Amino acid sequence: MKIKVKRNFVGEKDLSRKQAAFRLAMEVVRSGNEGTIKKTAYAIMKLANYAKEVLEIKNLTRLSSEHMKDFAEHLRGEVGMVKLA
């Protein structure tokens, strides 16, 4: 029986969220979009933290479209709180 190696959302085995965010950010830099590196890394970390803390999901590949809708609503709520503050 062939054993299937599980990989995370960037194709690496056992890669932490910080490492994955950093690698994705580095790919953004290599592609010439250096201005977006911090925004991209921040967005991924924010999603990863939401998934872990609220949805209790540690592997981002397990996120469904419903989870992403919940995350979008969460972000709308945060934006609304900033406007009121």
Tell me how far apart the alpha carbons of residues 67 and 84 are, in angstroms, rounded to a whole number: 26
- Full-model pTM: 0.56
Residue 45 lies in a domain: yes
Its domain, for residue 27, covers 17-84
Residue 31 lies in a domain: yes
Neighbours of 21 (CB within 10 A): 21
**Which position has the higher pLDDT, 1 or 37?**
37
Three-class secondary structure of residue 71 per DSSP: helix
Percentage of the residues of the chain whose pLDDT score is greater than 90: 26
Dihedral Cα 37, 41, 43, 45, nearest 10 deg: -170
Residue 7 lies in a domain: no
The count of domains in the chain is: 1
Residue with tokens 């209790």: 56
